[in-house]
Amino acid sequence: LPEPGTVEFKDVTFGYPGAEAPVLSGISFTAKPGQTTAIIGSTGAGKTTLLNLIPRLYDATEGEILIGGVPLKELGREAISRNISAVPQRPYLFSGTIASNLRFGAQDASDEELWEALDIAQSTDFVTEREGQLESTISQGGTNVSGGQRQRLCIARALAAKPMTYLFDDSFSALDVNTDAKLRAALAEPTKDAAVIIVAQRVSTITEADQILVLDHGEIVARGTHEELLESSETYQEIVTS
Ligand code: GTP
Ligand code: MG
């Protein structure tokens, strides 16, 4: 069996219920633990849809997705949520405290572990400055927190769960370039044994990725490292220069 946390797509096709054309076709790749797999492509290419198939927000129409060699359908909801942390493109906080938001998916995390996660997510100052700190209140939808901060708290939430697989959907784009770089450097250690899949808008976020998948109209049109794609893919060159 492949290592736990490995994500395999085998010739996956997906169309939204009721829609005519598939949004994803013939998607095959393997995201290995200890590696970063990046997905890049223009808006509407199908990046979010692809990520959403992994925690089974939708099921593939054809083909198969496996985690650690086990088909998703055999894994069960509980195993999926325990092993996979997803930071969605529109990160969501619910009404409650910062601590309760961070413990969603990590009920047993100690305060110390929450502070560690916040530190990696570059949010220590933000939480320290709030009245009540970990117990300070978040309003429904996180509307009393800025978009970039919401994104960072959702990254901290993902880290607190200590999963084998991380999914980041465009999680770094609301951050300024400086914070983006610091956060990603801090992520290296806690995610080093996990399979990391990251959707990115900025090429600078993914130049170090072990493999980059270029998605165009629901198909992988090129794959390789940053250097390889600069040589081989016109679509990638266009993304880099746009
Ligand atoms: P950006 O986040 O804008 O960069 O795009 P993306 O690459 O994440 O694309 P996404 O996966 O969101 O969408 C791919 C295609 O699926 C687009 O044509 C969308 O209009 C369509 N789509 C996305 N969500 C839904 C949905 O819930 N229902 C239906 N019917 N279509 C959807
Ligand atoms: Mg998207």
Read off the pLDDT of residues 29-41 as tens digits, 9 standing for 90 and up. 999 999 999 999 9
| Ligand 1 atom nearest to CA at 18 | 30
Residue 156: both structure tokens together: 């901290």
Q: What pLDDT score does 191 carry?
A: 96
Compute, in degrees rounded to 10, the torsion defined by CA atoms 117, 123, 129, 135: -40
Average confidence score pLDDT of the chain: 94
Residue 119: both structure tokens together: 């530190």
Q: What pLDDT score does 176 carry?
A: 87
Q: Which of 12, 40, 47 for mutating ligand 1's site (highest number of atoms within 8 Å of CB)?
A: 47
Distance 9 CA to ligand 2 centre (A): 18
CATH of 7-241, one of 3.40.50.300, 3.30.450.20, 1.10.275.10, 3.90.1150.10: 3.40.50.300
pLDDT digits (tens, 9 = 90+) for 206-218: 999 999 999 999 9
Are residues 121 and 153 in contact, defined by beta-carbon separation less than 8 angstroms?
yes
Element spanning 14, H or E: strand 7-14
pTM: 0.95
**Residue of 84 and 201 predicted with greater confidence:** 84
Question: Does residue 180 carry a pLDDT above 80?
Answer: yes
Please give the share of the chain, as a percent, with pLDDT higher than 90: 80
> In DSSP terms, which residues pair with 10 in a beta bridge?
64
| Ligand 1 atom nearest to CA at 41 | 7
Q: How far separated are the first and last CA of the chain, in Å rounded?
A: 41
The reply to whether ligand 1 has any atom less than 6 angstroms from the CB of 132 is no
Question: Does residue 201 carry a pLDDT above 90?
Answer: no
| Residue identifier of the C-alpha nearest atom 23 of ligand 1 | 49
Q: Report how far residue 117's alpha carbon sits from residue 99's, in angstroms, rounded to the nearest whole number.
A: 11
Q: Report how far residue 46's alpha carbon sits from residue 25's, in angstroms, rounded to the nearest whole number.
A: 10
| Ligand 1 atom nearest to CA at 19 | 30
pLDDT level of residue 229 (50, 70, 90 thresholds): very high
Distance 208 CA to ligand 1 centre (A): 27
Q: Report how far residue 145's alpha carbon sits from residue 36's, in angstroms, rounded to the nearest whole number.
A: 29
Q: Report how far residue 160's alpha carbon sits from residue 71's, in angstroms, rounded to the nearest whole number.
A: 26
